Structure 1
Amino acid sequence: MHIAFDINETLLDTAALNPLFEGMFGTSQMRQVWFLTLQEHWMTATLTDQFLPFGELATAALRQVAQQQGQSVSEAQQQALVEGLQTLPAHPDTLPALEWLSRQGHTLTALTNGSLTALQKQLQHAGLTGLFDAELSVEQVQRYKPAPQAYRLVMDHWGIDPGEMTMVAAHSWDVIGASHAGCLTGFIARPGKALDPEGFRPTWQDTDLESLTRQIVAATPEDR
């Protein structure tokens, strides 16, 4: 079975950035504002065919949020954000879920909107190195998720059809994009993440990654 995982928020806990945002803006709630602004930046870059590195978009979003608040951010603060993104801890259920899937012999792919270099640093810091059979970045296709080219990157890497791939993510736009590309989908409802109850329905969903992955394995034919 081929299962691809989003990284930030899905496997790694971005709440670890809260002290950084508290120090800059006086409240950790600005982290969510920053992340939504970052999403706007990468989706705009994809729609306008102007791919820019994730790190540049992350710091640009930080500067934009600061401007909205009538503040400014220093180069040191921007660098602290980049370094913070590369040293996020894994959610408590991440390692057990990945180790179980690996022991079962399933093919696991890390698919990130970040750079490949940053991904490798993230996995090493979070203790997840060696658990993935492939580590892929959208920089290889110059299109951010949820563009279909990002998901096809995984399919092309393994030589599989869309229906043979399951995309696991904590973002509605990610699972919707993967579904549009023909993939099966698993939504993990991390804190603050939810789907429209009257909208898109993923193939599977849960609040715990171990439970979600067991659902996927139990329901998916063994030859996938």
Structure 2
Amino acid sequence: MQRDLFAQPASRPKLVVFDVNETLSDMSGLAAVFAELCARPELAAIWFSGLLRDGFALTVTGDNPDFGALARQSLRPLLDSHGVPNPDTAVDAVMDAFAGLPVHGDVVEGVRGLAAGGVRLVTLSNGAASVARGLFERHAIADCFEQLLSVADAPAWKPAASAYEYALRTCDASPAETMLVAVHPWDIHGAAAAGLTTAFVNRAGTPYPAFFSRPDLEVASLVELAEVVGEGHG
């Protein structure tokens, strides 16, 4: 669907649920951290993809793993297998960098635009709420968010339906009035299956995978998202 789906104020979401990791936080700097540890820079993306894969596998089999613990446990053998010296110290360095990431360049303006438009904003992350809180406090946007939610308090990781249902219950919102915003097609797919409206943030202009549910809206930035769905509120 196109932007005209949200042309009327009544059709715009009342609640926007943000994914955090990569959607709001800019993880590109982790490659340099890996390089400083004498590891190949591309291992940063390999590690994070593997972390998500393992978390999804555990979720499917009925577990709800702790994101931080799984991150560390998946990182240590990866660094060790690539000959990184002092892997335990290196794990600490990577996790510290992960906890101190910046936001993407469009996030502050986009989030403030949505909040100014009267849209309720929350997060729903497979990671810890404390990481999101630190991210927002560093960029002075914490006051824009009503709640910072984590699947640690839900039955399962996203994209399980129960994760989105947890957010809806907590925020006393219906799927029809709620939009999930993410850069991950798997997150878009999961939210759509749970009945939410979805917005795919495509900063890189990459093709959307045909095997996942299509997003209701595709934008190049959160600034564009605020222009589309933030108008008419308040």
User: What residue ranges of structure 2 are gaps of 5+ in the alignment?
Assistant: 1-13
Pick the aligned partner of 1:91 from 83, 104, 111: 104
Structure possessing the higher relative contact order (Cα contacts under 8 Å, 6 or more residues apart): 2
Contact 1:111 1:137 in 2 (8 A): yes
Residue 119 of structure 1: how far off its partner (Å): 2.4
Q: Describe the shift of the 1:199–1:160 C-alpha distance in structure 2 as closer, same or farther (beyond 3 A).
A: closer
Instruction: Report the equivalent of 1:102.
Output: 115
Number of residue-to-residue matches in the alignment: 221
Structure-1 separation of matches of 2:223 and 2:151: 26
Residue 74 of structure 1: how far off its partner (Å): 2.0
Superposed, which structure 2 residues align to 1:79-158 within 5 Å?
79-158=92-171
Structure-1 separation of matches of 2:160 and 2:184: 14
Structure-2 separation of matches of 1:66 and 1:90: 26
Range that drifts further, 80-89 or 7-16: 80-89
Instruction: Report the equivalent of 1:5.
Output: 18
Structure-2 separation of matches of 1:6 and 1:73: 33
Q: SS at 2:195's partner residue?
A: coil
Task: Tell me the percent identity.
Answer: 27
Structure-2 separation of matches of 1:192 and 1:66: 31
Instruction: Report the equivalent of 1:77.
Output: 90
Contact 2:51 2:71 in 1 (8 A): yes
User: What residue ranges of structure 1 are gaps of 5+ in the alignment?
Assistant: none
Instruction: Report the equivalent of 2:70.
Output: 57
Cα shift readout 1:74-111 (whole Å, capped 9, x = no counterpart)? 22211122221211101111000111111111100111
Q: Describe the shift of the 1:191–1:75 C-alpha distance in structure 2 as closer, same or farther (beyond 3 A).
A: farther
Instruction: Report the equivalent of 1:188.
Output: 201
Q: Does 1:214 align with 2:227?
A: yes
Residue 57 of structure 1: how far off its partner (Å): 1.2
Q: Describe the shift of the 1:135–1:198 C-alpha distance in structure 2 as closer, same or farther (beyond 3 A).
A: closer
Return the TM-score normalized by structure 1. 0.89
Q: SS at 1:185's partner residue?
A: strand
Q: Describe the shift of the 1:168–1:69 C-alpha distance in structure 2 as closer, same or farther (beyond 3 A).
A: same
Structure-1 separation of matches of 2:220 and 2:54: 28
